Structure 1
């Protein structure tokens, strides 16, 4: 992942509504969730949610699929993993033995 793409992704996730929506989509898995379900769960008006989902789509973190008059949104797990990889690249100078990075246990930092 390039720095520009990482910045765009982090900017998109840097708003509470977008972060909550993205986490809901990650939790939903490949099945995704309908926009109306997300709006109801977050207590956000549909037009407001559409704006926030558009930001996530533009950042490449989410994809929408039309289903008649509704849209089903899904998290892009490859993009999410690429962002995590970008953020943890060279963590602990690449030493897996240091116990840091994704999946590490023990709470040790870099």
Structure 2
């Protein structure tokens, strides 16, 4: 992941509505949720939520697919993985033992 792509993703997630929607979609992988379900969870109007969804899509964090009459939104797990690796890869300066507590916490959940 490039620095520009990471900044775009972080900026997209830097809003409570978008962060909550993305986390909800991650919890519903691989099935995803319809746009209507996301709007309902958000408590916003369709048009307001669509703006937030567009920001997440532009950042490459959410993908849409048509299933029958519904548009299903899905979290892009590869993009999430790329962002997490980008953030953690150099932070330990090659000392993996510094990241072991983080990895252990992720493995337990």
Which band: TM-score by shorter chain? 0.7 to 0.9
Q: How many residue pairs were aligned?
A: 105
Greater relative contact order (CA < 8 Å, ≥ 6 in sequence): 2
Q: Which residue of 2 aligns with 1:108?
A: none
**Residue 18 of structure 1: how far off its partner (Å):** 0.5
SS in 2 for 1:94: coil
State the alpha-carbon separation in 2 of the partners of residues 44 and 90 from structure 1. 38
List per-residue Cα deviations over 1:41-99 (Å, max 9, x = no partner): 12111111111111111100110112344311000000000000001112221211234
Cα distance in 2 for residues equivalent to 1:101 and 1:25: 26
- Residues 1:81 and 1:101: Cα distance change in structure 2 (over 3 Å): farther
Name the Cα RMSD after superposition: 1.6
> When the two structures are superposed, what TM-score results if normalisation uses the length of structure 1?
0.87
Secondary structure at the aligned position of 2:36 is classed as helix
**Unmatched runs of 5 consecutive residues or more in structure 1:** 106-110
Aligned to 1:73: 73
